[in-house]
């Protein structure tokens, strides 16, 4: 028995998380319990879900998030591995419901899996997205090797320096990650400062935010789209590295070629 029995649309959404978790592992971006995923599943919650009993008492989020009233989330479990979540999303993740005070949650799931320790920062991002009226419902944190390597050089941490280089490697990068890569300087993992800086970067209109010497945080309509944005950016970084390994600096597309692409495909300027 699972709370997802006969709930095909919700199960399909959580299966997408499992599929992405498998990709993260296969790409080498999710060592041990690295990375986090949370998705806002409120739109798939029906009367039968609302009638289900909580299997935990109220647990404090650590902050009050007013736009999350009545919201439901699926989140990776704390200390759980992406490669295990890929096989068994309900054994390695949790469904939670935010309580009416917007400061606690209860677990409504098959097993009392505690959500990721990054839950407060992920929920703060979801709260921000809802406040803004955004259609984005998924957030992803992972450790893409080549993108993280880039941040070990200050020149790529300068605003939009990495975006311009990555966009110029192959046209699809700008087409499918048109807002580029926001850069956040190194901050302690799980800290309030890092969460606040991430929200500020998303507010500056980036969908993918780079945490210096750590990883990326991406948001999009669903988890597959968030993964795709990170994937195209990391692919561009790999092309840059491949050229360097062949012994030369890649030319990159010209500014004229990039402008043409932006105009013809109607991409954000």
In the complex, the residues that contact Zn ion under the rule CB under 5 A are 215
For Zn ion, the closer of residues 89 and 215 by Cβ is 215
Of 144 and 215, the one with the shorter C-beta distance to Zn ion is 215
Q: How far is the CB of 265 from Zn ion (least distance, A)?
A: 32
Find the shortest distance in angstroms from Cβ 214 to Zn ion: 6
Distance (Å) of CA 147 to CA 1, 47, 144, 192, 255: 41, 43, 6, 23, 22
Instruction: Find the catalytic residue in 13, 19, 118, 146.
Output: 118
* Beta-sheet pairing, 104-107 with 93-98: antiparallel
Select 36 or 94, whichever has its Cβ closest to Zn ion: 36
**Please, what is the minimum distance in Å from the beta carbon of residue 140 to Zn ion?**
11
CB of 142 to Zn ion, least distance (A): 7
By beta-carbon distance, which residue lies closest to Zn ion?
215
Residue 260 catalytic?
no
Q: Hey, which residues are catalytic here?
A: 118
């Amino acid at each position: 028995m699972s709370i997802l029995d006969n709930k095909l649309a919700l199960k399909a959404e959580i299966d997408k998380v499992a599929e992405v978790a498998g990709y993260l592992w296969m790409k080498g971006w999710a060592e041990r319990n690295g990375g986090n995923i949370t998705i806002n599943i409120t739109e798939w919650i029906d009367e039968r879900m609302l009638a289900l009993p909580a299997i935990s008492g109220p647990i404090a989020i650590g902050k009050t998030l007013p736009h999350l009233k009545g919201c439901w989330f699926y989140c990776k479990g704390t200390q759980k591995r992406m490669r295990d979540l890929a096989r068994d999303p309900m054994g390695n993740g949790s469904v939670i419901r935010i309580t009416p005070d917007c400061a606690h949650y209860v677990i409504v799931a098959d097993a009392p899996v505690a959500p990721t320790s990054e839950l407060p920062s992920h929920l703060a991002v979801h709260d921000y997205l809802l406040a803004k009226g955004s259609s984005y419902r998924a957030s992803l944190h992972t450790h893409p090797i080549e993108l993280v390597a880039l941040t070990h050089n200050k020149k790529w941490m300068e605003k939009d320096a990495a975006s311009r280089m990555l966009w110029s490697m192959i046209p699809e990068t700008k087409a499918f990650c048109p807002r580029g890569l926001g850069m956040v300087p190194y901050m302690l993992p799980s800290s309030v400062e890092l969460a606040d800086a991430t929200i500020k970067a998303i507010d500056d209109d980036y969908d993918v935010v780079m945490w210096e010497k750590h990883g990326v945080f991406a948001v999009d309509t669903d988890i597959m789209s968030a993964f795709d944005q990170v994937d195209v950016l990391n692919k561009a970084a790999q092309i840059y590295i491949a050229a360097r390994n062949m012994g030369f600096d890649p030319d990159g597309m010209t500014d004229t070629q990039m402008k043409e692409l932006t105009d013809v495909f109607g991409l954000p300027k």
